[in-house]
Chains A and B, each alone.
Chain A
Amino acid sequence: MTDLIKEQKLLENVTNPFKIKGRVIRNRRVEVFCDKETVSSVLLYAKTQLGYIHLAHMTCIDWIDENKFELIYTIWSPVEKVHLFVKTKIDRENPVMENIDKIWDQANTYEREMREMFGIEFPGLIGEHDFALEDWDEMPPMRKDFDTHQYAEQTYYNRPGREDAKDVRETLVERSGTEVPDFAKKYSRER
Chain B
Amino acid sequence: MSFIDLKGLLQPLGALKQIGKKPHTIRFPYEKKDASDNYRGLHYNEINDCIGCGNCSTICPNAAIDMIDLLEVEGNAGDSGLRPRIDNGRCCWCALCVDVCPTGSLNLTKDYIYVTDDPNSFLWMPGVDNKEEGKDLISYTSDTTTSLSMYDRVPMRELEGKERVKSFAEVVLGYTEDEARAEAERCISCGLCTEACPEHMHIPEYINAIARGEDEDAVKIIYDNNPLPEMCGKVCTRRCEDVCALQVRGDAVAIRWLKRYATETAPTVEAIKEVVNPVIEEPNGLTVGIIGAGPAGLTAGYYLALKGYDVTIYEAQAHAGGMVMYGIPKYRFPLDSIDKQIEYMESIGVKINYNTRVGKDISFDDIYKNFDAVFIGIGLQKPWNIGIKNEDVPGVIPAIEYLKIINSGGSYDVGKKVAVIGGGNVAIDGARVSARFGAEVTILYRRRVKDMPADWEEIEGAEDEGVHIIPQAIPTRIIKNEKGRVKGIEYVMAKMLTQEGGGRPRPVAIEGSETIYECDTVIGAIGQQADFTWLPEKYKESVLIERGKIQVNNDRQTGDPKIFAGGDAVKFGNADAISAIADGFSAMKGIDKLLLKKK
The chain A residues found within 8 Å of chain B, CB to CB, are: 148-149, 152-153, 156, 158-162, 164-169, 171-173, 175-178, 180-181, 183-185, 187-191
Assuming the contacts A183-B220, A184-B224, asked whether A152 and B68 have C-beta atoms less than 8 A apart, the reply is no
**B204 contacts which of A148, A152, A188 (Cβ < 8 Å)?**
A188
**A173 contacts which of B53, B66, B189, B194 (Cβ < 8 Å)?**
B194
List residues 22-73 of chain B with CB under 8 A from any CB of chain A. Answer: 52-54, 57-58, 60-64, 66-69
Question: Closest chain B residue to A163 by CB distance?
Answer: B66
- Among all A-B residue pairs, the 8 with the closest Cβ atoms: A165-B66, A148-B61, A168-B54, A189-B189, A187-B208, A187-B205, A184-B205, A176-B200
Docked complex Cα distance between A165 and B65 (Å): 9
Docked complex Cα distance between A149 and B57 (Å): 11
Give 11 CB contacts A-B under 8 Å: A158-B87, A166-B66, A168-B53, A171-B67, A173-B191, A178-B194, A180-B202, A183-B221, A187-B209, A188-B204, A189-B208
Q: Is the CB of A171 within 8 A of B202?
A: no
Closest-CB distance, B210 to chain A (whole angstroms): 9
Given contacts A166-B68, A168-B82, A189-B208, 8 further A-B contacts (CB under 8 A): A152-B62, A156-B90, A159-B87, A159-B120, A172-B194, A178-B225, A180-B205, A184-B209
Closest-CB distance, B237 to chain A (whole angstroms): 18
Docked complex Cα distance between A92 and B202 (Å): 39
Assuming the contacts A152-B63, A178-B194, A189-B190, asked whether A171 and B80 have C-beta atoms less than 8 A apart, the reply is yes
Docked complex Cα distance between A89 and B58 (Å): 31
The chain B residues found within 8 Å of chain A, CB to CB, are: 52-54, 57-58, 60-64, 66-69, 75, 80-82, 85, 87, 89-90, 119-120, 122-123, 188-192, 194-195, 200, 202, 204-206, 208-209, 212, 214, 217, 220-221, 224-225
Docked complex Cα distance between A178 and B224 (Å): 11
Assuming the contacts A167-B67, A181-B221, asked whether A172 and B191 have C-beta atoms less than 8 A apart, the reply is yes
List chain A residues, Cβ under 8 A from B54. Answer: 167-168, 189
List chain B residues, Cβ under 8 A from A189. Answer: 54, 58, 188-191, 204, 208
Q: Is the CB of B191 within 8 A of A168?
A: yes
Most buried by B among A161, A183, A184: A184
Docked complex Cα distance between A49 and B120 (Å): 59
Q: Is the CB of B58 within 8 A of A191?
A: yes
List chain A residues, Cβ under 8 A from B90. Answer: 152, 156, 159
Q: Is the CB of B63 within 8 A of A187?
A: no
List chain A residues, Cβ under 8 A from B82. Answer: 166, 168, 171
Docked complex Cα distance between A170 and B62 (Å): 22
Closest-CB distance, B78 to chain A (whole angstroms): 11
List chain B residues, Cβ under 8 A from A173. Answer: 191, 194, 200
Question: Closest chain B residue to A168 by CB distance?
Answer: B54
List chain B residues, Cβ under 8 A from A161. Answer: 120, 123
Q: Is the CB of B66 within 8 A of A162?
A: yes
Q: Is the CB of B123 within 8 A of A178?
A: no
List chain B residues, Cβ under 8 A from A191. Answer: 57-58
List chain A residues, Cβ under 8 A from B62. Answer: 148-149, 152, 156
Q: Is the CB of B119 within 8 A of A172?
A: no
Assuming the contacts A148-B62, A159-B122, A178-B225, asked whether A184 and B202 have C-beta atoms less than 8 A apart, the reply is yes
Closest-CB distance, A48 to chain B (whole angstroms): 33
Assuming the contacts A161-B120, A178-B200, asked whether A172 and B87 have C-beta atoms less than 8 A apart, the reply is no
Q: Is the CB of A187 within 8 A of B119?
A: no
List chain B residues, Cβ under 8 A from A190. Answer: 58
List chain A residues, Cβ under 8 A from B195. Answer: 172, 175-176
**B212 contacts which of A148, A162, A166, A187 (Cβ < 8 Å)?**
A187
Closest-CB distance, A176 to chain B (whole angstroms): 4
Question: Closest chain A residue to B586 by CB distance?
Answer: A177
Question: Closest chain B residue to A189 by CB distance?
Answer: B189
List chain A residues, Cβ under 8 A from B80. Answer: 168, 171-172
List chain B residues, Cβ under 8 A from A185. Answer: 205
